[in-house]
Structure 1
Amino acid sequence: MCIPHGATGTVSNGFVKKDKPQKSIKRVSQDQFEKGDPNFVDERTKAYKPKEEKSFLASLFK
C-alpha cells in the first residue's frame, strides 16, 4: 500500500526564521522625477571624459 506524502506530518528541526524589516524605497513625485532634485550637490572632482578608442596599429606604434 502507498503512503501519501503528507501522512507522516512535519518534524520540527528547531529552526526559527527571524523577521526582517521590509525593504522599501520611498517613491519620488513625478515632478521631481522629471526635473531632478533641486537640492542635488554634484560632488565629482573632475568632469567625465570618455576614453578615446585607438586602433590596434595606432596603439602598437605609439
Structure 2
Amino acid sequence: MCIPHGGVGGKSNGFVKEEKPKKHITGVSQSEFEKGDPDFIDERTSEYEPKKKESFFSSLFGV
C-alpha cells in the first residue's frame, strides 16, 4: 500500500517564526481628500511638456 506525501508527520527543526506588528496606514479626512493638502509644497523644477512626435525619416535625416 502506498503512503501519500503528506501522510507522514513532519519533523520539527526548532524554527520559531517571529511575530511582527501589523503595519497600519492612517486614512485622510474627507475634506483633505477633496481639497488637497494645504501644506503641500510643489517641488517640480519645470512644467510638463509632452515630446513632439517626429516621423522616422525626419529624425533620421534631421529635417
Same fold (TM > 0.5): yes
Higher share of residues assigned helix: 1
TM-score by length of 1: 0.71
Q: Aligned residue for 2:61? A: 61
- State the aligned residue count: 60
Q: Distance in 1 between matches of 2:21 and 2:14?
A: 22
1:29 pairs with 2:26: no
Distance 1:61 1:2 in 2: 74
Specify every segment of 5 or more residues in structure 2 that has no aligned partner in the other structure, as ranges.
none
Q: 1:54 to 1:21 in 2, by over 3 A?
A: farther
Deviations 1:29-61 (A, max 9, x none): 111111110110111122222222211112112
What's 1:38 paired with?
38
What is the CA–CA distance in structure 2 between the aligned matches of 1:55 and 1:20, rounded to whole Å? Answer: 55
Percent identity, aligned pairs only?
62
Q: Partner residue of 1:17?
A: 17
Q: Say which SS state the counterpart of residue 58 (structure 2) adopts.
A: helix
TM-score (normalizing by structure 2): 0.70
Moved more, 36-45 or 49-58: 49-58
**Alpha-carbon deviation of 1:15?**
1.3
Q: Which runs of 5+ in 1 are unaligned?
A: none
Q: Please tell me the root mean square deviation across aligned C-alpha atoms, in Å.
A: 2.1
